[in-house]
Structure 1
Amino acid sequence: MLRNHIRTAWRNFVKNKWYSLLNIGGLTIGMACSILILLWVQNESSYDTFHSNVDNIYRLTAEANENFKAAVSPAGMVEELPNQIPEIKSSLRLSAPFEALVEIDDQKFKEGPVFYADPNFLDVFTFPLIEGESKTALDSPDGILITEVTAKKYFGAESALGKTIKIDNGDTFTVKGVLADVPSNSHLQFNIIIPMTYHAKNDSDLVNKVWNSFNFYGYFQFEESAISTPEKFSKMVAKINQIYAERAPEYEIIFNLQPLKDIHLHSDLQIDLPGHGNIQYVNIFFLVAFIILIVACINYMNLATARSSRRAKEVGLRKVIGAGRRQLILQFLGESLIISFLSLVLAIGLVYLFLPAFNHLSQKELVFSLTDPLLWSTLLFIALITGLISGSYPALFLSGFKPIKVLKGRLKLSKYNLLFRNGLVVSQFVVSVLLLIGTTVIYKQLTFIKNKNLGYDKSNLVYVPMEGEMWGKQDALKAALAENPLTNNFSIISDLPANLVTGDFDIHWEGKDPNEQILFPSIRADENFLDVFQMTLLNGRGFSKTSSENNDYIINETAVKVMGGNLENILGKTLTFKERKGTIIGVVKDFNYKQLQYAIEPLVIRHGGFGNLAVVRTSPKSTESTIAALENIYHTLNPAYPMVYNFVDANLDSQYKGEQQMGSIFKVFAILAIFISCLGLYGLSAFMTEQRFKEIGVRKVLGASALRLVNMLSKDFLKLVFVAFVLAIPIAWYVMSKWLEEYAFHIELQWWVFVLAGFTVLIVALSTVSYQSLKASLANPIKSLRTE
């Protein structure tokens, strides 16, 4: 039986090579696309699952108000909560990641990311140690952990254990352990871990065990099943908040526990570690993978049902000699499964061929290993489902033919069959239009982000962080920058206005409600700040060199509204920021100092002569020479450190890396979905043209022009594309509106975006159909009208 099915499938394949190739080509491309997307989805969904205690590890997060949710927590709180909550097995603190100057054998390198971590780092997290003892690796303040790639980079094939490394031209550390390279699906990415006990020598938060300063990432490992149910979880969160309220009653902070495996995809928090994904993107791409596979299956179903009349006599003869409907269904399903598994083999080849390009596109290190039994089972499942879906309707339809009718003559297809087939074509092009509209909207939003006036001029701004001796030589730095005409347009600031994440509650003004808690981000800046960033001062004046350092404040428009004032009466008002009483001297026009997902919050700009960054505005044609001048000044003042610089606009672009990758991937798969749809449309139009070959000959003899014939053969298909466009509009409008709602600042959906997508798909479909139509209309009518 099986041999007969395989033989029959092979004969049909050989007999109808062109249609078989269209089917296999569509399924192969559809499967390859789906496999690549599913590899990406699987990687995104697997973050941090390799830790042995993943189900018991949670990160402590804080919510100051509905607009400010942060991933950081107080150092003292994380350390002391286990003493008050027995269900917490252990707690762990991590610093923010940073870059360090590493010196080995008198050679210096910039290395990062680097974390300070508590000694139980390797007890909480499962990062395998290649060399050293995990229990004692971080016990000593002068110990250090490095990854395998870092060890090879600095020590080659030699064992790194016991070797010394000098950090930031200061203390020397001994390598106490070498870690296996950090998996790419870890939300923590690092090359070096330094003991928290070393950091505690100088950090006031750690020394004083504070509960009101949020500068560390805190993790708790709970006892097995301690918070395994929603009820237990809620009680634990309530208990943590109760303890904090008793310890720090002056602040209204709400804490929560974030499961470790949720950090990568479900973290919409500020002051978070870089590199997070987005569960919405994962869901979208999972759906796209499924849809592309369905589009490929529709091709098979369409061509099989369209060509059903060709196999009607075969079905009739098989029924006459005793074949039952069940046998026929199995035969046709067997044929589709054979084609499906053949397509899978070809799809695997395509995946291997294009995986490097896909990795480059998605900025991932995806691996396609056929030795993985889970992967094999997934691939076989995809082939099986694809074969069953694509072959189901043709099998049921073909096996239902009545032998008396089909053996009398050519079978006439029912209106129901045509309606079903047209519905499949419409479904394909609905998907194509949706993906094309999605690609256009994402591109428009990214363009909007790139070109939006943020309230300051972000171009031609280069910044250099303060490091080493530069911290104590900022007066000398200012003098050197002012003397050089290439660098004299500079400002010394505490934070970039492109990504401000700090905030304080300790702020008071005249008439403030004492019970009101409002978070105020702040920047410390010098008198050049507004000019260098070309911000608009709406009222008042900027800072001056003669003013007292901490007695002048500039606020933004939003802060004026929060304080209940206006541009005219706010100047001269008293403002106390973190116990420093001063005067409001100016109001700056609102500018975006966070990603565009967030609304503009009240901002305080404090006057200060010292900062963390030196920012220089370059002339458009002198950027390289300005950087060279900066390097000369930097090396003169800080010879022990190599200068690191970046551009403000590049920093802004990096904040939307996820959106850029999503747009690129979306664009590729939108094109492929349209291509697969057109493959089926091409085969369908070729077959329908063949069916009407004699009619075309007759019409041509009677005087019909080629253009008239093309119009006759094409209009039915184009109607289907138009119906698909109409159906896709409300779906696309809803989906893209929801996506844009994630941004406080976004584009408005415009009608022409939808028309452009529909017109593009219409032109592609018309080109696909017209080729066959034109070919038939130009054929010699003698060939079509001659007798057999």
Structure 2
Amino acid sequence: MLKNYLKIAWRNFIQKKWYSFLNIGGLAIGMACSILILLWVQNESSYDTFHANADELYRLTAIANEDFKAAVSPAGMVEELPDLIPEIKSSVRLSSPFEALFEADDQKFKEESIFFADSNFLDVFTFPLIKGNPKKALAQPDGIILTETAAQKFFGTTNALGKTIKVDNKDVFTVTGILEDIPTNSHLQFNIIMPMSYYAKTHSDLINKVWDSFNFYGYFQFQKNAISSEEDLSKMVYRINEIYTSRNEFEITFNLQPLKDIHLHSDLQIDVPGHGNIQYVNIFLIVAFIILIVACINYMNLATARSSKRAKEVGLRKVIGAGRRQLVFQFLSESLVISFFSLILAIGIVFLLLPAFNDLAQKELVFQMGDSSIWITLIIIALATGLISGSYPALFLSGFKPVRVLKGRLKLSKYNLLFRNGLVIAQFVVSVLLLIGTMVIYNQLNFIKDKNLGYNKSNLLYIPMEGEIWGKMDALRAALTQNSLTNDFSIMSDLPANLVTGDFDIHWEGKDPNQQILFPSVRADENFLNVFQMGLLNGRSFSRNSFENNDYIINETAVRIMGMDVENVIGKSLTFRGDKGTIIGVVKDFNFKPLQYAIEPLVLQHGKRGSLTVIKTAPNNIENTIAALEQIYGSLNPAYPLIYNFIDTNLDAQYKGEQQMGAIFNVFALLAILISCLGLYGLSAFMAEQRFKEIGIRKVLGANATMLVNMLSKDFLKLVFIAFVLAVPLAWYTMNQWLEGYAFHIELQWWMFVLAGLIVLTVALSTVSYQSLKASMSNPIKSLRTE
């Protein structure tokens, strides 16, 4: 019996090649899209799962002022909590990632994303050493751990144990371990780890074991089953907060973040870079499901539209004794055969498109043919697709009455037509939704790119202070001033792009002693406002020789929080971090953090020294400016190569995740429309075939091509219009929710919805009109010769 069903399915497949191509092509594209998305989702969801103790590992995070959530914690607190809470098996601290200059075998390399880590780092985290002893690798202050890639780069071999490296032209370190390259699905990405005991020689937080300065990432490994439920986690968090409150006056709330949640569930500031977003994962999971359903709808539509072609077959089978269950099984078998053919084609498409998709998503996804779990997932997808797409056609076709069919009186019910129209509407609701989503994301990214941040970000080049420059700032200042290409510069502590500093230790006249507000700050020289072209609302900028006066400039938001106004705040006293001074100016609010965050109060302090120099270059003289900087830098700091970057590039990098999401969304929106149009093309072709004789009669009676195209197209266009009406409120709600994640965002505009509707309408009209025009141009003699 099954053999017979498969034979019939194969014959139908061969005889109706175009129909089969539309079905298999639509399902294959839908499956390929879903497989690619699922590979991406699997990768995003797998972060940090490779650690042996992943379920027992948590990161300590902090919340201040309810809105300021940070990934960092105090060094002393992380070190001492295991002694106060027995359930904590061990703790490990990591510094913020930093850059350094390394010299090995007479070659120099500038490296990024280096961490200082406690000596038990390799006990807590599962980063396997291929050479060295994990218990001792970070035990000595002059030890250093390299990954395979770093060792190969520095020494040309991974057999580098015991070799020496000079760091920042000063201290010499011995290679005590070689790590396997860090998996791409780790939230910690690095090539070099240095011992915290070396950092503890100079860092005051580590020397004094402070509980009130937030500069380190703190991780705890808990005893097995110490936290086995949400209730256990809440109790542990309560105990940690109780201990902190008993030792500090600041109102800080701490949380424990599961290690596996860090990549997708971190909306924290001062975090390691490269996080994902659970919202995007959920969105793309829904998109994968929707695209697959759209492909299934194609199959249902074409199968039910062609029902009259299979009616006599069903009637004959019923006459010779076939039951409805057998017929349902037959048609489901056919849909499953097509589904598995589509799966084979989809796998081929995935292999072809995976390199381009990896480039688009900035991933290293691999389709592992030997992974049994992938094959189980693919088989489940094929089975689900076959059963879903074949279910309604099977039930519908098996329900034909043999007497009516064999007498030629088959008449499809209005419910069949209603269901088919509903499927077409569902397809185009999805298409309109995805198109509107694409437009909103595109416009929000353009808004971010073009938004006036409160300063001019163009042509701003910055270089870090390194090596001998730290002791030659006056010489650097003089050299930059003397050169006309570099004399528009400012030296500062931080870029006003993503400030991570902040302090509660601030006092002004009339401040409520119970008020606790975090004030970010920047230490900058007298050129700061001019270089960034910021607006000064009142007062003056810093003067050249007033470093000892503790002059302060604050922003508009700070003025409002202090309960004053721009006109009367000048001359008021302000004490920040124990330094009493005077407010000399109010700068217009500017964005110094990504646009997800509202503008916070800001304090600008006058400082002669800084960690960065920003130079404003002439638009047509950038290369000459860089050459001048290389000459100045080379003479003052010959041991270090000049490293420079541009502020607008730095700002663009903050929205890398959104840009990738937008690009991926664009591709899948276009593919969803393509799949919908494949189905619409097949459906319109079949409808034209069904009305072939009617078209011939109308042509004989004088109907022209325009009238016939209008007749055949209007029913489909009505469905597209209904889909548009249904999609608009759904799109408005969904995209409004997404935009709420930004403190600064575009407003949804009516033209976005209308344009999406017009695009879908035009594509649908083009698809249907082609078949309609083809039918209207046919010779009526062919359709009427049998009458």
Per the alignment, residue 732 of structure 1 pairs with 731
Q: Distance in 2 between matches of 1:477 and 1:442?
A: 44
Q: Give how far 1:234 is off.
A: 1.2
- 2:547 is paired with a residue whose SS is coil
Q: TM-score, normalised by structure 1?
A: 0.99
Q: Distance in 2 between matches of 1:412 and 1:534?
A: 76
Determine if contact 1:495/1:612 at 8 Å carries over to the other structure.
yes
Determine if contact 2:64/2:251 at 8 Å carries over to the other structure.
yes
Letter in 1 for 2:671: L
1:335-346 equivalences in 2 (<5 Å): 335-346=334-345
Determine if contact 1:549/1:609 at 8 Å carries over to the other structure.
no
Letter in 1 for 2:723: A
Deviations, residues 119-158 of structure 1 (Å, cap 9, x unaligned): 0001100011111111111111111111111112222245
Determine if contact 2:308/2:410 at 8 Å carries over to the other structure.
yes
- 1:220 is paired with a residue whose SS is strand
Q: Distance in 1 between matches of 2:207 and 2:228?
A: 34
1:448-459 equivalences in 2 (<5 Å): 448-459=447-458
Deviations, residues 471-513 of structure 1 (Å, cap 9, x unaligned): 1111111100000000000000110101111110000000000
Letter in 2 for 1:646: N
Letter in 2 for 1:75: A
Q: Distance in 2 between matches of 1:223 and 1:704?
A: 83
Per the alignment, residue 772 of structure 1 pairs with 771
Per the alignment, residue 622 of structure 1 pairs with 621
Deviations, residues 326-368 of structure 1 (Å, cap 9, x unaligned): 1111110000000000110010001001100000000000010
Per the alignment, residue 45 of structure 1 pairs with 45
Q: Distance in 2 between matches of 1:165 and 1:367?
A: 35
| 2:405 counterpart of 1:406 | yes
- 1:272 is paired with a residue whose SS is coil
Q: Distance in 1 between matches of 2:400 and 2:497?
A: 69
Per the alignment, residue 348 of structure 1 pairs with 347
Determine if contact 1:550/1:608 at 8 Å carries over to the other structure.
no
Distance change (3 Å), C-alpha of 1:284 and 1:158 = closer
Determine if contact 2:547/2:608 at 8 Å carries over to the other structure.
no
Q: Distance in 2 between matches of 1:686 and 1:573?
A: 79
Q: Distance in 2 between matches of 1:411 and 1:662?
A: 50
Q: Distance in 2 between matches of 1:409 and 1:504?
A: 86
Letter in 2 for 1:164: T
Per the alignment, residue 102 of structure 2 pairs with 102
1:693-772 equivalences in 2 (<5 Å): 693-772=692-771
Q: Distance in 2 between matches of 1:369 and 1:631?
A: 47
Q: Distance in 2 between matches of 1:70 and 1:128?
A: 29
Per the alignment, residue 172 of structure 2 pairs with 172
- 1:3 is paired with a residue whose SS is helix
Letter in 2 for 1:275: G
| 2:431 counterpart of 1:432 | yes
Q: Give how far 1:166 is off.
A: 1.1
Determine if contact 2:28/2:346 at 8 Å carries over to the other structure.
yes
- 2:332 is paired with a residue whose SS is helix
Q: Give how far 1:87 is off.
A: 0.3
1:297-312 equivalences in 2 (<5 Å): 297-312=296-311
| 2:368 counterpart of 1:358 | no
Q: Distance in 2 between matches of 1:487 and 1:476?
A: 14
Q: Give how far 1:300 is off.
A: 0.3
Per the alignment, residue 598 of structure 2 pairs with 599
Q: Distance in 1 between matches of 2:676 and 2:469?
A: 61
1:293-332 equivalences in 2 (<5 Å): 293-332=292-331
Letter in 2 for 1:472: G
1:315-714 equivalences in 2 (<5 Å): 315-714=314-713
- 1:464 is paired with a residue whose SS is strand
Considering only aligned residues, what root-mean-square deviation do their CA atoms show, in Å?
0.8
Per the alignment, residue 200 of structure 1 pairs with 200
Per the alignment, residue 135 of structure 2 pairs with 135
Q: Distance in 2 between matches of 1:155 and 1:341?
A: 51
Letter in 2 for 1:266: H
Letter in 1 for 2:710: N
Letter in 2 for 1:354: L
Determine if contact 1:440/1:753 at 8 Å carries over to the other structure.
yes
Q: Distance in 1 between matches of 2:732 and 2:493?
A: 42
Q: Distance in 2 between matches of 1:454 and 1:563?
A: 23
- 1:212 is paired with a residue whose SS is coil
Deviations, residues 260-297 of structure 1 (Å, cap 9, x unaligned): 00000000000000000000000000000000000000
Letter in 1 for 2:362: Q
Per the alignment, residue 783 of structure 2 pairs with 784
Letter in 1 for 2:517: I
- 1:103 is paired with a residue whose SS is strand
Determine if contact 1:575/1:584 at 8 Å carries over to the other structure.
yes
Determine if contact 1:550/1:606 at 8 Å carries over to the other structure.
no
Determine if contact 2:489/2:531 at 8 Å carries over to the other structure.
yes
- 2:284 is paired with a residue whose SS is helix
* Large movers: runs of 4+ above 4 Å: none
Q: Give how far 1:651 is off.
A: 0.4
| 2:114 counterpart of 1:114 | yes
Per the alignment, residue 125 of structure 1 pairs with 125
Q: Distance in 2 between matches of 1:783 and 1:562?
A: 84
Q: Give how far 1:631 is off.
A: 1.2
Q: Give how far 1:550 is off.
A: 4.8
| 2:275 counterpart of 1:276 | yes
Q: Distance in 2 between matches of 1:462 and 1:738?
A: 36
Letter in 2 for 1:198: Y
1:231-310 equivalences in 2 (<5 Å): 231-248=231-248, 250-310=249-309
Determine if contact 1:309/1:410 at 8 Å carries over to the other structure.
no
Letter in 1 for 2:447: F
Q: Distance in 1 between matches of 2:245 and 2:381?
A: 53
Letter in 2 for 1:473: K
1:209-220 equivalences in 2 (<5 Å): 209-220=209-220
Q: Distance in 2 between matches of 1:6 and 1:16?
A: 15
Distance change (3 Å), C-alpha of 1:497 and 1:397 = same
Determine if contact 2:148/2:158 at 8 Å carries over to the other structure.
no
Q: Give how far 1:232 is off.
A: 1.6
Q: Give how far 1:441 is off.
A: 0.1
1:141-156 equivalences in 2 (<5 Å): 141-156=141-156
Q: Distance in 2 between matches of 1:309 and 1:26?
A: 22
Letter in 1 for 2:745: H
Per the alignment, residue 85 of structure 1 pairs with 85
Q: Give how far 1:112 is off.
A: 2.4
- 2:218 is paired with a residue whose SS is strand
Structure 2 unmatched runs, 5+: none
Letter in 2 for 1:27: L
Q: Give how far 1:548 is off.
A: 3.4
Most deviating of 44-53 and 142-151: 142-151
Deviations, residues 552-607 of structure 1 (Å, cap 9, x unaligned): 00000000000110111100000000010000000000000000010001100000
Q: Give how far 1:546 is off.
A: 2.5
Distance change (3 Å), C-alpha of 1:301 and 1:158 = closer
- 2:480 is paired with a residue whose SS is helix
Q: Distance in 1 between matches of 2:170 and 2:313?
A: 86
% of aligned pairs identical?
77
Letter in 2 for 1:598: Y
Letter in 2 for 1:719: K
Determine if contact 2:158/2:178 at 8 Å carries over to the other structure.
no
Letter in 1 for 2:166: K
Q: Distance in 2 between matches of 1:549 and 1:186?
A: 46
Letter in 1 for 2:524: A
Q: Distance in 2 between matches of 1:560 and 1:339?
A: 68
Letter in 1 for 2:367: F
Distance change (3 Å), C-alpha of 1:601 and 1:158 = closer
Determine if contact 2:165/2:175 at 8 Å carries over to the other structure.
yes
Q: TM-score, normalised by structure 2?
A: 0.99
Determine if contact 1:470/1:637 at 8 Å carries over to the other structure.
yes
Deviations, residues 11-39 of structure 1 (Å, cap 9, x unaligned): 11111111000000000000000000000
Q: Distance in 1 between matches of 2:10 and 2:719?
A: 33
Letter in 1 for 2:659: Q
